[in-house]
């Protein structure tokens, strides 16, 4: 069995992130459940994954519920069918009323460890906020095409964020190399 390792960063002032190891054949719904469990969120609220690029622009939407409007649903979408880049990025918007945003980057693909169950969370850093701690009235709904202006202001991110000399880069460039510490091979 092959697994992906993803770095999942919660868009919050405090550093809160984890790694999720998951079967490449898993559905996006299984990935969603692994993320919500890791961050101690209850799950089951209106949420969507968005395929993303190096600028964190939202692309194709993968919805939690089958919306029958052409968008694929999480239960019917397999991770490996959407991982087109060795450092594929995704955005998970969790709870459309509170707008929790998770920035997700594929770290690599590897063979599953014998005796290990998946999905699992081999590393978690920080203290996740309580799901209810983000008041609906405080939600900034500016997250949309072209990125999140609030993130640019709060975190000093700009258009070239994460780019290396080749114009490519990852969250590791912005957050001090933490994406490379596991030594996963890029495919």
Output the domain CATH number for residue 81.
3.10.290.30
d(CA 56, CA 158): 11
Within a domain: 186: no
Within a domain: 132: yes
Within a domain: 185: no
Within a domain: 15: yes
176 pLDDT higher than 50: no
Higher pLDDT, 143 or 55: 55
**Domain encompassing residue 119:** 2-174
- How many structural domains comprise the chain? 1
Within a domain: 181: no
Using one digit for the tens of pLDDT, what is the confidence trace for 50-68? 999 999 999 999 999 877 6
Higher pLDDT, 137 or 91: 91
Q: Which is nearest to 83 in space by CA: 143, 5, 164?
A: 5
d(CA 14, CA 113): 32
d(CA 7, CA 90): 10
Q: What is the percent of the chain with per-residue pLDDT over 90, rounded to a whole number?
A: 63
d(CA 93, CA 50): 8
pLDDT band, very low/low/confident/very high, at 134 (cuts 50, 70, 90): confident
Supply the pTM of this predicted model: 0.73
pLDDT of residue 70: 74
d(CA 96, CA 86): 29
């Amino acid at each position: 069995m092959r697994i992906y390792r993803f770095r999942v960063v919660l868009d919050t002032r405090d550093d809160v992130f984890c790694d999720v190891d998951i079967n490449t054949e898993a559905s996006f719904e299984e990935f969603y459940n692994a993320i919500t469990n890791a961050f101690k969120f209850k799950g089951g609220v209106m949420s969507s994954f968005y395929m993303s690029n190096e600028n964190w622009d939202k692309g194709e939407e993968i919805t939690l519920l089958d919306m029958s409007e052409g968008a694929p649903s999480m239960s019917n979408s397999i991770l490996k069918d959407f991982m087109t880049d060795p450092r594929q990025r995704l955005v998970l918007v969790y709870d459309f009323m509170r707008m929790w945003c998770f920035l997700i980057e594929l770290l690599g693909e590897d063979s599953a460890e014998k005796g290990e169950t998946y999905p699992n969370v081999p590393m978690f850093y920080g203290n996740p906020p309580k799901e209810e701690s983000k008041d609906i009235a405080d939600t900034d709904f500016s997250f949309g095409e072209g990125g999140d202006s609030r993130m640019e202001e709060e975190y000093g991110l700009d258009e070239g964020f994460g780019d290396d000399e080749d114009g490519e880069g990852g969250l590791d460039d912005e957050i001090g190399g933490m994406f490379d510490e596991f030594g996963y091979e890029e495919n």
